[in-house]
Structure formats: structure tokens, C-alpha cells
């Protein structure tokens, strides 16, 4: 019993150094209302210029919907498909077109859609979330045109983000 106070004192002396090493909070970045909407509009417009009617969704890093734009002629299924592409890309911080082959074990996981068109929004070394586009037909690989349009949307806001801070 005499050793208990000594052990408690040793634990108290060691504990603060471990706690001090880790910050009590984290700082993250989130796309603004305007940037999220500009991204969706520009992604959808990139597909429209090719003659395709699509839906574009932007989610934050946690997969929460920030913005959605749907061409009036895009199928209603594209709403959920674009959101799921964005959620999947945000969750794995990887473009979904790169996940189509190597991640088959996740095919039936909830809220995971392994079809091209989801692209992470990573600008200036910061991860903001992801964009998902759905509705364009494939040229070579399923989702390849959706992927191109999503990247065009990101390119449209890149300069705003890089030089806006």
C-alpha cells in the first residue's frame, strides 16, 4: 500500500508531457458557399459543353452535402449517384475512377460507389472534400467523362482558393 502514492506521483509526472505533445483542437478547411456552388456549376457546365446533362454534388471532408446542381434534363438517379461518388471520394481521399479495380472488396459497403466521377478537392496541400458528377456516358471507362468534368470544376476554383487565403 505504501507504493500506491509513489506510483500515482510517477503517473502524474509523466502524464502532462504526453498531453502537451498533442493539441487540444484541430484546424480544417471547408469550401465556402460560393466556392462549392461555383465548383458544381462549372463541373456541370463542362459536361454540358460536351452535350451531356449531369448532376454535380460537392461534399465536405466528412461527406456532408454542401452544394448540388442538376441539369433539368439529367435523370433523377444522377442526384444520388453524384452524391455517393463525392462521398466515396471524400472518405478515401482518392478519385473513384482510380478505385474501380483495386477496391472490389468495398463494392457492397454502405455509401461507397466505385464508379468514376468522384474527385477529391485537394488544393494547396489542403483537403476540402470532394465533387461527384453523374450522367455522362463513358468514352473508354465507366465514369471517365464524369471524372473529367469534376476535374474541370475543381480547376475553376483552384485559383480562387490558392490566392484567396
Alpha carbon separation from 79 to 67, 76, 101, 128 (Å, rounded): 11, 6, 24, 21
Q: Whole-model pTM?
A: 0.84
How would you list the strands of the sheet with 118-123, edge to edge?
A: 65-70, 55-60, 126-134, 118-123
Give the whole-angstrom CA distance, residue 36 versus residue 43.
11
Over its length of 165 residues, how does the chain's per-residue pLDDT go in tens digits?
Answer: 455 454 444 455 555 544 456 888 888 889 999 999 999 999 999 999 999 999 999 999 999 999 999 999 999 999 999 999 999 999 999 999 999 888 888 888 999 999 999 999 999 999 999 999 999 999 999 999 999 999 999 999 999 998 876
The C-alpha cell 460536351 sits at: 50
Give the whole-angstrom CA distance, residue 133 versus residue 151.
10
* pLDDT of 28: 86
* pLDDT of 7: 44
* pLDDT of 165: 60
Residues found in the chain? 165
Cell of 32: 465556402
* pLDDT of 2: 53
Give the whole-angstrom CA distance, residue 164 versus residue 117.
27
Of 151, 150, 158, give the one whose Cα is nearest residue 126: 158
Residue 159 is inside which H or E element, if any?
helix 144-164
Amino acid at each position: 500500500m505504501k507504493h500506491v502514492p509513489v506510483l500515482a506521483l510517477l503517473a502524474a509526472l509523466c502524464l502532462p508531457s504526453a498531453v502537451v505533445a498533442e493539441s487540444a483542437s484541430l484546424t480544417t478547411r471547408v469550401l465556402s458557399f460560393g466556392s462549392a456552388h461555383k465548383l458544381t456549376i462549372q463541373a456541370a457546365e463542362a459536361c454540358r459543353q460536351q452535350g451531356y446533362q449531369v448532376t454535380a454534388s460537392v461534399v465536405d471532408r466528412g461527406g456532408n452535402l454542401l452544394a448540388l446542381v442538376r441539369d433539368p434534363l439529367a435523370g433523377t438517379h444522377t442526384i444520388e449517384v453524384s452524391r455517393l461518388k463525392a462521398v466515396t471520394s471524400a472518405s478515401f481521399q482518392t478519385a473513384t475512377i482510380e478505385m474501380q479495380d483495386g477496391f472490389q472488396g468495398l463494392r457492397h459497403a454502405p455509401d461507397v460507389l466505385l464508379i468514376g466521377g468522384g474527385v477529391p478537392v485537394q488544393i494547396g496541400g489542403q483537403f476540402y472534400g470532394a465533387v461527384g458528377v453523374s450522367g455522362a456516358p463513358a468514352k473508354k471507362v465507366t465514369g471517365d467523362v464524369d471524372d473529367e468534368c469534376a476535374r474541370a470544376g475543381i480547376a475553376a476554383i483552384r485559383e480562387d482558393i490558392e490566392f484567396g487565403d
